Structure 1
Amino acid sequence: MFKWTVDQEIILLQLHESLASRYAELVQENEPYLSQWLNWPRACRHLDDFKTFIQGSLYKYADGDGLDCAIEFQGQIVGNIGFNTIDHELKKAEIGYWIAQQYQGNGIVTRACKFLIQYAFESLNMEKVQISAAEDNLPSRAVCERLGMKLEGIISHQEKVGDRILSHAIYGIYNTG
């Protein structure tokens, strides 16, 4: 299991089955908040659901198609971040993340994304990193803007979350180095 130190407060940990119980606890505590923007918290509620997620994530990592990490902030697991997809042919990676509501506003996601963008460009040889955020998810869109990402467009009717159909704002940043 690898771990990356982002800064003195944030560590990214490769997922391991031992994290499943903390994930289940976090999602249970934050289900109403997370379910505003994500569909999976309604269906992923039990320890076995998170064990299955972690197992699938490890397979994606072994295949080079994705990467998921637990976000540790000041010694506590507070969320998840990683590459939902890594497309070596297109030289593009897409970052996805979620964080417990009480930890928002500390710059955690912005700092972790900045670290992953640098990793994508320098270690994975990607040319583009993108983030897809619900159009109305202003905190997530603000992360993209703080990272210097450019809004590439809005894709309407992209995802159904609960009883709402959400459009997605697509942000991208390119390796210019």
Structure 2
Amino acid sequence: MSTFTQFKIGNDIVTLDFPEISHVKSLYETINTDYLSLRRWLPWVDEIHSIEDESKFIEMARKDIALNKTIVTTILINGKAVGIIDLHNISRKNMRAEIGYWISKDVQGHGIMTESVKRFIEVVFKELNLHKLTIIAESDNNKSRAVAERLNFEHEATLKEHLIYNDEFKDLIIYSKFFNR
């Protein structure tokens, strides 16, 4: 197991680990249990039909990490995998990247995601010498937007009617955070 960062919230030990095959079963169970709520915000959920599908994702993530294309971390609470934080669309030339995240409904509302993203961005800003991080959330995704706002990401733009979900156009909110600004 390779730890990205670790901290404590209340009596819980929260660890951000690089993805391991040992995380697959717990992540798949979470995706399966929270399918409807995750699917609402994350279209890739429809592609995860089995433990094998989640295993393929972990294998792909590990390869992309090795190629410096992305950074993916599994959120573990007391050793149990409950979500993911990733850095994607990394542009070393422009010194920017995007953050994505999701977490089990069972552990939402305790500050775990906000603190996890905070710790994640501290490491990536420092280690990757980035200038800008972006979080993109659907305007109706109040929980995801709240994480960005609690971490003092700036509302940079609203992309009007940018996505279609259930035959309805949805707006996307772009949040940004700058390093050394």
Q: 1:99 aligns with which of 99, 103, 106?
A: 103
- Contact residue 39 and residue 162 of structure 1 kept, 8 A: no
Cα deviation for residue 82 of structure 1 reads 1.6
Structure 1 residues without counterparts, runs of 5 or longer: none
Inter-partner Cα distance in structure 1 for 2:79 and 2:98: 27
Paired position in structure 1 for 2:149 = 145
Inter-partner Cα distance in structure 2 for 1:45 and 1:148: 36
- Contact residue 38 and residue 161 of structure 1 kept, 8 A: no
Paired position in structure 2 for 1:31 = 35
Structure 2 residues without counterparts, runs of 5 or longer: none
Q: Partner letter of residue 51 of structure 1?
A: S
Cα deviation for residue 156 of structure 1 reads 2.7
Runs of 4+ in 1 over 6 A off after TM superposition: none
Asked if 1:113 is matched to 2:128, the reply is no
SS at match of 2:129: coil
Inter-partner Cα distance in structure 1 for 2:136 and 2:159: 9
SS at match of 1:148: coil
- Contact residue 3 and residue 16 of structure 2 kept, 8 A: yes
Q: TM-score, normalised by structure 2?
A: 0.90
| Correspondence list, 1:146-161, <5 A | 146-161=150-165
Q: Compare 73-82 and 27-36 and name the one that shifted more.
A: 73-82
After superposition, the C-alpha distances for 1:105-149 in whole angstroms (9 at most, x for unaligned) are 111111111112111211110000111111110111010010010
Cα deviation for residue 75 of structure 1 reads 2.9
Q: Size of the alignment, in residue pairs?
A: 177
- Contact residue 97 and residue 132 of structure 2 kept, 8 A: yes
| Correspondence list, 1:46-85, <5 A | 46-85=50-89
Inter-partner Cα distance in structure 2 for 1:161 and 1:97: 19
Identity of aligned residues (%): 29
Inter-partner Cα distance in structure 2 for 1:56 and 1:158: 28
